[in-house]
Amino acid sequence: MKTYSAQFMASMLGFLLVLFIAPSSQADEGFWLFNAPPLKQLQAKYHFTPDPAWLEHIQKSSVRFGRGGSGSFVSADGLVITNHHVGADALQKLGDDQHNYVRDGFYATTPAEERRCYDSELNVLDSIEDVTGRVVAAVPSGAKPEDAVAARRIAIAEIEQESTKATGLRSDVVALFEGGSYQLYRYKQYTDVRLVFAPEQGIAFYGGDPDNFEYPRYDLDICLFRVYENGKPIHPKDFLRVNADGPSEHDLVFVSGNPTRTYRMCTVAALEEQRDTVLPTLLATLYRREVLLTAYSERSIENARRAREDLLHAQNSRKGCDGVLAGLLDSETLRRVSEEENGLKSAAAQDSRFSNIPYSYTQIQKAVSSDPGNTMKFMFYEDSHVRTSVVDAVRAKPLGFDSQLFRIARALLRATEEQQKPNEKRLPEYRDSARPALEQALFSEAPIYDDLEILTLTDSLISLVSVYGVDDPVVRDMLKGKSPHQRAYELVKSTLLKEVQFRHQLYDGGVSAVRAAADPMTGFAQAADKTARQTRETMEEQDEVANKAYAEIAKAKLGLEGAQFAPDATSTLRFSYGTVEGYDEDGKTIPAFADFTGLYQRADQHENRPPFQLPTRWINKREAMDPKTPFNFVTTADTVGGNSGSPVVNRTGDFVGIIFDGNIQSLTLDYLYSDEQARAVAVDSRAILEALKNIYEVPALVSELTGVTQTAGE
């Protein structure tokens, strides 16, 4: 499952990177911009040249979900398809102790039954504008790191604000090529997203944790929403037609989505920081979280429902991090990266333009290895996602305080504090441009469960204490002489932040209202905040130094190797391409397609026990389906976390599948591309239609997706 891993992967691998290297072997590597497609490569290798209209059509049919993850419009009436695991957050929040939509699925038989989701946000990329000149001009050359950060922040905030005022569109400035280029992205935003259809999680995530990141797979990992505006479904000009014939082996296919991050130019030093500090710290937390949530889930059926998404998230992240760490512990990996570094250094030594390259590497090394204590402290106090230069106000996950109420408390505390500063001097997530997203998250009516909050807050406090000791002054100040459990219990039980109305009150009342209310949870957040902000400042200064060095290295690569580049992934819309292709593993050939026959065989092998248990409907309708229908397939197209839900499109621009995972070999794609074994895994469009028609028996949906009216009994 890629969305989750996206979130955690982002925390894992080093700096925001600049470029990746176009391989000499002409592998299909790269996340390309829609306004800068690799026309030469496509023409040379596939004799295909997409025209601007083709590109714009795919771009505007693609959507990004606010919480991460990709999707696409697939009907003239605003139907959007994404993965079940992307939609699961919405499914979870719509459920209660009587309705387990994640587990049991959902279908709205009439428009009135389409359920509006809590805090859903959907973005469609409208346009891109180059603003490099203005951002670069704002930073005086020779500025100290902290001054450069501040000056750039001011310029970016102004650009975003102006654009939003002028167009009414969400406007984000994105750094590409690590500051070699700044692009203003404008999005049409939708907030009324309604649930239309979801299958049972048992088939959406068939095989569960054991099959996650594996292949062959048999998952119907889809979920359908409809986008509304002013209480009516929208009718998007651009949407993808679902192709009933699917793709064929060796076909050229395109993947359009929002890959979170790639780090393909990470230096050895940066990878070592991941291997030695970031990943072990993260994994230790993920292991305990998984055990904790599993134990909690086993205590009752309702517990299992409540913790389901968090547990899947923990498992998925753990498996992903494990895979990346295993890759980094394989000395061959660092040998390859090191070899490349040395090659560049040697080449630079021959060219006076790039004599500063060894210094750039040293700068990066100093930045990432001079203070591992701060990296760890950042993870515990500020956010588990390090070196991404992005902290989400409400969704940041400091390892020391795993509690939704804590996250809300801190966001309120900081929002009111930051509000007192001029817009451009605020932390980015509290600027005016970020306000809609902040408020949506802050005032979400999604349920919060006391027991689960106490459990995760207790556990994360125990981690904090284990690392910093009970006698650490900040820890002492936060625990107030109580045990982690006692403190978590009293905080969760006594805070008023469970009431959305109370959050509004504090938010609107500002610093003085927060102070006057003296809510225990905001007090608790306050006790951690000085440390959290300090560690973040230190990290940002390190990043500034390192990023400048990365930019130099990128320039040198460009100058010395002269290859064509696409920028590293930055959670923005890109497309990649490749073919539908099997691969060899341990001497066996893994075919490109896995069909329904394979699904039923797998269930039989496991005596239909979880996580290989089929939903009842799938058992009963076995005979109604064509067993040879391709279910899942793999492609060499470059994908990483964030590509979950990306449509797979053929040459004619039709939807032929949807990405939902990568195999285990693809986990290293974050930092090294390979098409030898690494594969993205997709649900075939034929399986989607076959299941909707013959398992779920929803002809109206099939008609809407294919544009062909279904005859009864067909």
Q: Which CB, 16 or 325, lies closer to a second copy?
A: 325
CB of 476 to a second copy, least distance (A): 10
Contact 6, 83 (CB under 8 A): no
CB 651 within 8 A of CB 252: yes
- Quote the CA–CA distance of 364 and 229 in Å, as a whole number: 47
CB of 342 to a second copy, least distance (A): 18
Q: Could you give the 3-state DSSP secondary structure of residue 619?
A: helix
Q: Judged by CB, which is closer to a second copy: 233, or 484?
A: 484
User: CB atoms < 10 A from the CB of 280, how many?
Assistant: 14
Cβ burial, residue 223 (10 Å; 0-12/13-18/19+): buried
d(CA 408, CA 502): 11
Q: From the CB of 322, what's the least distance to a second copy, in Å?
A: 8
* CB of residue 530 to a second copy, shortest distance in Å: 24
Is residue 56 classed exposed, middle or buried when 0-12, 13-18 and 19+ CB atoms within 10 A define those classes? middle
Q: How far is the CB of 311 from a second copy (least distance, A)?
A: 11
Residue 110 or 605 with smaller CB distance to a second copy: 605
Residue 405: CB minimum distance to a second copy, A: 21
> DSSP secondary structure string, 180-192?
TEEEEEEEEEE-E
Which of 209/704 has CB closer to a second copy?
A: 209
Q: Which is nearer to a second copy, 484 or 520 (CB)?
A: 484
C-alpha span between 200 and 495 (Å, rounded): 36
Within 10 Å of residue 710's Cβ, how many Cβ atoms?
16
Q: Which is nearer to a second copy, 301 or 349 (CB)?
A: 301
CB of 285 to a second copy, least distance (A): 9
CA distances from 184 to 156, 167, 174, 617 (A): 9, 12, 6, 48
- Interface with a second copy (CB under 8 A): 208-210, 275-276, 280, 283-284, 287-288, 290-291, 294-295, 298-301, 318-319, 325-326, 329-332, 462, 465-466, 469-470, 481-486, 605-607, 609, 611
Query: Of 315 and 547, which has the nearer Cβ to a second copy?
Result: 315
- Are 445 and 411 in contact, with CB atoms under 8 Å apart? no
d(CA 158, CA 231): 33
Q: Which is nearer to a second copy, 439 or 453 (CB)?
A: 453
Specify the residue, 168 or 469, whose C-beta has the smaller distance to a second copy: 469
Contacts of 451 (CB under 8 A, 6+ apart): 303
Q: For residues 287 and 449, which CB has a smaller minimum distance to a second copy in the complex?
A: 287
Which residue from 653, 629, 685, 490 is spatially nearest to 61, judged by alpha carbons? 653
In the complex, least distance from residue 331 CB atom to a second copy, rounded to whole angstroms: 6
> Which H, E and C letters describe 217-249, residue by residue?
CCCCCCEEEEEEECCEECCCCCCCCECCCCCCC
CB of 243 to a second copy, least distance (A): 35
CB 560, CB 344: distance < 8 Å? yes
Shortest Cβ distance from residue 99 to a second copy (Å)?
17
